[in-house]
Amino acid sequence: MLKLNTICLTLLIILSLPAFAQQGTLIGKLTNHKSQPIDGASIRIAATTKGTLTDKNGLFFFKSLPYGRYTIHISAVGYKTKELQINLQEKLENSLNIALTENPNTLAEVQIQGKTVARKIKETGFNVNVIETKRFANTNTDINQILNRSTGIRIRQQGGLGSNYSFSLNGLSGDHVKFFIDGIPIESYGSGMSFNNMPVNLAERIEVYKGVVPAHLGSDALGGAINIVTNRDKVKFIDASYSYGSFNTHRAALSAGRKFNKSGLNLNVNTYYNYSNNDYRMRTNPKANIYLEVPSKTVPNQLDTIRSARRFHDNYESFMTQVELGVHNKKYADIAVVGLTFNQVNNQVQTGATQEKVIGGIQHSSNSFTPSIRYRKEHFLLKNLSASLFSNFSTSKSIITDTSSINYYYWDGSTFGLSKTQGELNVKSIRHQKINNSFSQVNLNYQLRPQHVFALNYNLKTNDREEYNEIDPYNDTFNKTNRITQHIVGLNYQQILLKGRLNNSFFLKRYTLAGNSTANDNNSNREARSYTGYGAATNYRIIRHGGVKLSYEHAYRLPSFTELFGNGIEVIGNPNLEPANSDNYNLGLYYKFHLKDHAFSVEASTFYRNAKNYIITTRYSDAERNYSYSRNEGGIKVNGADFEIKYDYKGLLQAMVNMSYYNAVDRARFVEGTNREKITYNSRTPNEPWLFGNADISTGFNNLFGTKHTRLQFNYYLQFVNNYSLSWSKLGDKRTKDYIPEQWLHNLAISYSLKQNKYHITVEGHNLSNEIAYDVFKQQRPGRSIFVKLRYSLQSFK
């Protein structure tokens, strides 16, 4: 790692060489009518390419400005635009104090707040993508589809709406990436809460932390974390939408909030409903070595290949509603609310792990109830101490029914074989699972000085699970009970130095895991373990709009209780299991510039991960018995890079292009516990896309054809995934290798907005060229599809 550190340091030194300043400097401060600083306002000097944004103290400055007369444009969302004439002269104090007046007709507060939070996050040294979801609000997308456009992220989904997915972030995937909603781990909301069905309209922004995760997201994330920040605690806000489209897909979402200032009450509602038949066409595709074989209708006991068939057992339905009621701006609390979340998912299962296994009878349904409380107070006990608290308890029930007597289904819906005892995946069962989760979180923030902030975070998670088979309740195979408790303490210190140019964070995380398992023979197991993780992140702004970010974390993924101690039945415990750990490094560069009316923003980053002691679960199956056992094994080394370029022309045309690349290789030279060299040593890990990118172009026109307060917006979005191998690409003769072909998916959306962005109608086409695209284990994705979305939105702060 010495090499990496040296390179980083050299880069830092080179980039920090001082720029020559030979001319005058203009310094200014921007405030509102209450003399409070305005953060994030745009300051542009007319007839030049120079522009800047104010910092959180409302300050801005221009260096190297030749003396002379200038016109300065000042604009901030929520304020009236202002123009100023100045004369920059030698020996004069070239500093300005400018006050802006609020514009009551705009949505000032929220937008400034949103921008501020997003910018504050970006100003830390973390390698983070902050996606403001506003621009996707009119589209028929869920959170996953938006994340898929972001650098470093690849979501591989098995099929249509609601289908299983696998998330990869900079080459680390599965359990190694953790998900949060408003800083709360998603699993604490019970089963069914998932990014694959959550409509975009519920989220205000999405934060993607790559490799290095701040301490306030208290979880064991080895490869990074995703945090969805929802709309809430607004004065008056409503966003309602409904869309209908291909495969009989219906999606409705409502997100609303209201603060009653007189009574101090406030109410937040988030709800959605999704339904789809997902009956898109599956196709034979010799290019990908896919053939849909069905029993011949003419010759008995033979198979015929058909060109295509519709999926026939893939209905999906999900419903979620979350209501929060409470008070705000009281002496004892800035916000104190109680909430209730309900979630229901019903879905049919169409395939096994690969599309060769067709399923026609298995159903899955689950629901969960989650009551919660949330409290926040600035100046808690001390003047500079703020506190927030969250706690919830979820009860989830899920039922998987596998009682079809039919042994095999084919893609044309025909069947084959009957069995009295066998279901499609295992012996016939109606498997009930009951999971209780509790989660509590306390955050304390102490600001010693504005430049020095300490944060302490404590998370307590408990999880217990019971299972049984309704058909055969006395069969112990499905009976198990176990309970796990997880404590995570995080400590973060943030310092802002050199007048805001240097932003450092240092953090420490302590994980403790304790558990208790009771098997059918009433034997109990109790154990506890602790581990410590740590890291740091720094952002150094070298020039006005450009800088460098560095971050590091020694991160953990803890073994689960079942992995450690077994469940007494088919999972054999391994008490010697160590947590998987990874040393994650990020180096990022960012730069923004204007060329007349053309604004560019460039971000590029490179990263290295050294993930050791991967927890691998091996499944042994036999006609007599099925069981699994987890062990530590090798791990991977990943290095890679990504970049994103954004372009804006006078706010009329926006374009974005990004590309991500990584190389994840097996890092262990020998098979664990032997002196046998691994055949995959230093080879790229299979079944994961390693080169992918996105391009996005938007343009819009206001008040077309003489209409008032309308806007027509076009968006074209291209998704590219390079081909990749299903198995270790070096192993086996090249002629036998199966690749997932490269994909170029074209998507188009046209939106028409009326009455000052209150009403919207959008027509959207996905996969316009009807390309046969595949994902995880070569599961075919939907072909061309069309959706229409209607949306009503209103925000007011009065």
Residues that bind another protein (CB under 8 A): 1, 3-4, 7, 293, 295, 301-303, 356-357, 407-408, 416-417, 419, 585, 587, 604, 606, 608, 610, 620, 623, 625, 637, 639-643, 659-661, 669, 671, 674-682, 691, 693, 720, 722, 727-728, 730-736, 744
Q: How far is CA 144 from the centre of its chain?
A: 7
Using the minimum distance from each CB to another protein, give the nearer residue, 395 or 770. 770
Cα torsion through 147, 153, 157, 162, rounded to 10? -30
Q: How far is the CB of 549 from another protein (least distance, A)?
A: 13
Residues in the chain: 798
Using the minimum distance from each CB to another protein, give the nearer residue, 273 or 643. 643
Using the minimum distance from each CB to another protein, give the nearer residue, 477 or 757. 477
CA 89 → CA 49, 93, 95, distances in Å? 20, 8, 11
Q: How far is the CB of 735 from another protein (least distance, A)?
A: 6
Q: How far is the CB of 519 from another protein (least distance, A)?
A: 16
Q: How far is the CB of 153 from another protein (least distance, A)?
A: 15
Using the minimum distance from each CB to another protein, give the nearer residue, 7 or 528. 7
Q: Cβ(233)–Cβ(326) under 8 Å?
A: no
Pairing of strands 571-572, 626-649: parallel
* Residues ≥6 apart with Cβ < 8 Å to 130: 118, 121, 122, 205, 206, 207, 208
Q: How far is the CB of 639 from another protein (least distance, A)?
A: 6
Q: How far is the CB of 301 from another protein (least distance, A)?
A: 5
Q: How far is the CB of 151 from another protein (least distance, A)?
A: 10
Q: Using alpha carbons only, give the angle 328, 332, 338 rounded to the nearest 5 degrees.
A: 50
Strand partners, 766: 785
Q: How far is CA 29 from the centre of its chain?
A: 36
* Residues ≥6 apart with Cβ < 8 Å to 727: 686, 687, 737, 738
What DSSP letter does each residue of 163-221 carry, written as one string?
A: --EEEEETTEEGGGEEEEETTEEGGGG-TT--TTT-BGGGEEEEEEEES---TTS-S--
Q: How far is the CB of 585 from another protein (least distance, A)?
A: 8
Using the minimum distance from each CB to another protein, give the nearer residue, 260 or 416. 416
CB atoms within 10 A of CB 14: 10
Using the minimum distance from each CB to another protein, give the nearer residue, 1 or 528. 1
Q: How far is the CB of 303 from another protein (least distance, A)?
A: 6
Using the minimum distance from each CB to another protein, give the nearer residue, 582 or 753. 582
**Closest among 798, 781, 795, 785 to 351, alpha carbons compared:** 781
- State the Cα–Cα distance between residues 717 and 458, nearest whole angstrom: 41
Using the minimum distance from each CB to another protein, give the nearer residue, 444 or 604. 604
Q: Cβ(281)–Cβ(247) under 8 Å?
A: no
* Residues ≥6 apart with Cβ < 8 Å to 463: 435, 436, 437, 483, 484, 485, 486
Q: How far is the CB of 679 from another protein (least distance, A)?
A: 4
Q: Cβ(123)–Cβ(503) under 8 Å?
A: yes
Using the minimum distance from each CB to another protein, give the nearer residue, 386 or 581. 581
Using the minimum distance from each CB to another protein, give the nearer residue, 316 or 643. 643
Q: How far is the CB of 168 from another protein (least distance, A)?
A: 16
Strand order in the sheet with 165-169: 153-157, 165-169, 172-173
Using the minimum distance from each CB to another protein, give the nearer residue, 477 or 485. 477
What DSSP letter does each residue of 255-274 carry, written as one string?
A: EEEEEETTTTEEEEEEEEEE
Q: How far is the CB of 428 from another protein (least distance, A)?
A: 15
Q: How far is the CB of 554 from another protein (least distance, A)?
A: 16
Using the minimum distance from each CB to another protein, give the nearer residue, 85 or 301. 301
Q: How far is the CB of 424 from another protein (least distance, A)?
A: 11
Q: Produce one character per residue of 446-458: b if its CB has 16 or more CB atoms within 10 Å, e if not.
A: bbeeeeebbbbbb
Q: In angstroms, what is the C-alpha Rg of the chain? A: 28
**Closest among 652, 639, 641, 663 to 729, alpha carbons compared:** 663
Pairing of strands 711-721, 724-725: unpaired
**Closest among 121, 247, 201, 158 to 537, alpha carbons compared:** 121
Using the minimum distance from each CB to another protein, give the nearer residue, 55 or 644. 644
Q: State whether the Cα torsion 666-588-697-230 is positive or negative.
A: positive
Using the minimum distance from each CB to another protein, give the nearer residue, 161 or 721. 721
Q: How far is the CB of 52 from another protein (least distance, A)?
A: 26
Using the minimum distance from each CB to another protein, give the nearer residue, 3 or 383. 3
Q: How far is the CB of 635 from another protein (least distance, A)?
A: 13
Structure tokens, 743: 């994909």
**Closest among 392, 391, 402 to 431, alpha carbons compared:** 402
What's 558's DSSP letter? P
Q: How far is the CB of 731 from another protein (least distance, A)?
A: 5
Using the minimum distance from each CB to another protein, give the nearer residue, 639 or 698. 639
CB atoms within 10 A of CB 619: 10
Unique residue bearing structure tokens 């400055």? 61
Q: Cβ(580)–Cβ(668) under 8 Å?
A: no
Q: How far is the CB of 774 from another protein (least distance, A)?
A: 16
Using the minimum distance from each CB to another protein, give the nearer residue, 419 or 617. 419
* Residues ≥6 apart with Cβ < 8 Å to 184: 390, 392, 439, 441
Using the minimum distance from each CB to another protein, give the nearer residue, 50 or 637. 637
